[in-house]
Amino acid sequence: MVTGLNSEVEHIGKTYHVQTEDGGLHNPIILTRIFCGGVIVSSRKTSYVYLLDREDLKGVVEQLMREQHQEMIQEVYRS
């Protein structure tokens, strides 16, 4: 299972670090944070507790992580 995604994004002379993590089965959330200069400037947390019974949980969570990560990268460009 993908445990995390990290991207560096340049926008208007600043470097942003976008980090997405999976909390795992005991904390079923996907957490994405955007950092600039070591400070969190935005975050999004999404629960997937409603998906825990799925046989294809690993693939579904990985896809949700990628989608949320990309959405947050786009948020950098909208700022």
pLDDT band at 3 (very low <50, low <70, confident <90, very high): confident
- Reported for 29-32, long-range contacts at CB under 8 A and 24+ positions apart, including other chains, are 30/61, 30/64, 30/65, 30/68, 32/68, 32/69, 32/72
pLDDT band at 79 (very low <50, low <70, confident <90, very high): confident
pLDDT at 1 over 90: no
Domain boundaries, the chain: 4-78
Which one-letter DSSP state was computed for residue 47? E
- Cβ atoms 3, 21 nearer than 8 A: yes
Which amino acid is located at 7 in the chain?
A: S
Backbone phi and psi for residue 56, each to the nearest 5 degrees, phi listed first: -100, 30
Residue 30: the pLDDT is 98
pLDDT tens figures, 26-68: 999 999 999 999 999 999 999 999 999 999 999 999 999 999 9
